[in-house]
Amino acid sequence: MLSTTRARLHRTLILLLVPILVAAGSALLPMTAAPSDAAVSGALGAKWTRTAEGPQKYPGYSVTPDVPIKMSDGTVLRGNLIRPADKSGRPVSEKMPTIVNLTPYTKMVSALAAEVVNFPVLVPQLIELLNAINLQGTVLSGYNDLVGSLRSGFADSFSYDPKLVRSGYNMLVVDVRGTGFSQGTWQVFGDRERRDTGEVIDWAAEQRWSNGKIGMAGASYSAINQLQAAADRPGKLDAIFPVVPGADIVRDVVAPGGGVGTGFLSMWLALVNTSKMIPNVASMLNGTFDWKWLGDRAKDPLTYIDVMLQALTLQRPDQATGETRKLLTEGTDRRKSLFTDVGRITTPTFSIGGWNDLFTNSEARMLSGLKQLPDSKKKLIMDDGYHITVGAQFGTPGNPPKMTALSRAWYDKWLKGIDNGIDRYSPATLASMPRDNYLQGPSFPLPGYTHQRQYLSGKPSPSIHTPVAGNGSLSSAKPSARATRVVQPGLSNVCGKDGAQGAAGVTALFDFCGRDNRLAEVAAQTFTTAPVTKTTRLSGWPAIHLNQRLQATDGYWHATVNVVSPDGRSQVVSMGQLMVSLREVDRSRSQFAANGDVIDPFLYLSLDHYKPVRPGQTLAIDIPMTPTQAALRPGDRIRIDVYSLNAPKALPLGPAMWASKFGPQFIEIDPKAPSWVNLPVDRPLR
């Protein structure tokens, strides 16, 4: 039955893809290859690629859909079991390692994605043709990153890789409780969902087709789930390969800097809440429809939509109730369930992240956080990508191998004991923004960098040739005169790198949104350095210390650190935001420079630390910024952009909106109380 369904799918795809192939071929332009870096890809990378993409041990694979897995509370989750098969399509009898993937996006979508991406002959050719269309340097420069995920292995990480299965692995893709065809209500990383993961792992390890070795796979939600499972059950997993994972969900996407992450959350909650209502049509036709599934969906059809709306509309902190209050108060069980202590992990962990990803703060801390693992068992690649475009160029010259090659090597090493050299790959492989070459080293930040202040000044910079709200300068000297800069709210970040990050990378299709921030700077107060004369690198967390004043009892700041090229292009390499009333810093969990400056402020982000200000009061704040690995070439400059809004990526929490009424905010430039950015550099800036 399954093979017949697959054959019909293949015939349909042929009819759809042939005209697309013709159109793509007519638009074909050759891609320019970057020079290869042997340390990043090299001989080992070529070996892993041949292993992953060459002939496999088994000729086929078999899919058993909707396998019931009963949890300890009686709730039934459903998963697709994919196993190697012989020429007749029968699953082989050998016991072998099992890779588990838990997803809220329905395993039906994963199955379809895997079939489409790995469709024989036509789809691989189509993918190569689409990737060969070079739109770099055009208004649609982000096109190549968006289609690159089809070739790079990202799509296989999201679904499953049939070649990995055919090499001798079982794959189990399970709908998270309350999503897909699984019973229950969606927990969104709640305690019960975290227990489910452990029970699925135990179930898989005990089945007749399993040899007890368990790995995990998946991207985004499924990557977070991997970290949680490895931290909750140390020693129960043998290998994980999380792609774009988060460990601190509140600070990453729910309330970064105290702003509600509406850009991503609204889109994401709508997607999952819609897809979880899709019924199992096959069960309706054969009379096995799960009525408990329907009853569970009726209990909570719009999970967390009410929480987001309350967070945006409450006028005072004491009006927060239920899940909203739990989410916005540190120390609650709900808040704890959204945090993963990666220091508990003993499972070999290979993470893929991106400097523009939603979870970049968690990803960049991965190596330092995995305290129990030696370098051989922890690896991190940080790409210059967004949530849906991370690794888009993997597998091309100068870039790391495809994710399918890296994950296959990782599983082979830790689940099968094959000495393939993956344990000797550099612990940190870091794309250097904005030009995307890679550096490797033992950690992030890379060793040999020190923090240096650059002070904000009212003196205009000669680098500005496009409209901005205000033009100032940066230098290592304190300002000599007082000045006040007015920052008015605006919507220019709809088309900026920060907005593209909130949209998971979709708007980065356009060059002027994803790779050039000059359009967004229309609403910014900008401060720019003199050009550097020698290559200067950044590695770590920039810190922005702002001496500011509000007309209201609350306000909201957004800032970016940009590399500005001689032609004027302004490219964001770090971004951050802060709701002023939630400015209080937990110094015990923050990082400091040698001179005592806080360079990585850890905010409480809790209603019991809510502190409005007195209107007209001048107050210093520290804005938490995202980490960066970047390079300035001779002639480049550093620019700081300061805004009072970064919609649609984030909106202030309700009390801040009601208090500020989106009024003007002020930067006070004062020689006695200067504002500055502290940059992690490998050589001093002027």
Q: Are 575 and 497 in contact (CB under 8 A)?
A: yes
Least confident range from 248-252, 392-396, 400-404: namely: 392-396
Q: Are 462 and 402 in contact (CB under 8 A)?
A: no
239-243 β-sheet, strand order: 60-70, 76-85, 170-175, 96-103, 210-219, 239-243, 349-354, 378-383, 428-432, 437-441
Neighbouring CB atoms inside 10 A of 534's CB total 8
Q: Are 41 and 64 in contact (CB under 8 A)?
A: no
526: phi then psi, degrees, rounded to nearest 5 = -110, 145
Helix, strand, coil % in the chain, rounded to nearest 5: 35, 25, 40
Q: Please say whether the dihedral angle defined by the alpha carbons of residues 578, 582, 583 and 589, taken in this order, is positive or negative.
A: negative
Which pLDDT belongs to residue 80?
Answer: 95
> How, if at all, do strands 543-550 and 591-592 pair?
unpaired
Least confident range from 66-75, 154-163, 352-361, 483-492: namely: 154-163
Tell me: pLDDT of 77 over 60: yes
Contacts of 637 (CB under 8 A, 6+ apart): 461, 463, 528, 529, 530, 531, 532, 563, 564
> How, if at all, do strands 525-528 and 470-475 pair?
parallel
Higher pLDDT, residue 22 or 492: 492
Which pLDDT belongs to residue 509?
Answer: 67
Least confident range from 80-84, 296-300, 396-400, 680-684: namely: 396-400
Least confident range from 48-52, 82-86, 147-151, 606-610: namely: 147-151
What is the average pLDDT score of the chain?
A: 89
150: phi then psi, degrees, rounded to nearest 5 = -70, -30
Structure tokens belonging to residue 184: 């229950």
How many whole angstroms separate alpha carbon 442 and alpha carbon 539? Answer: 13
Specify the pTM: 0.91
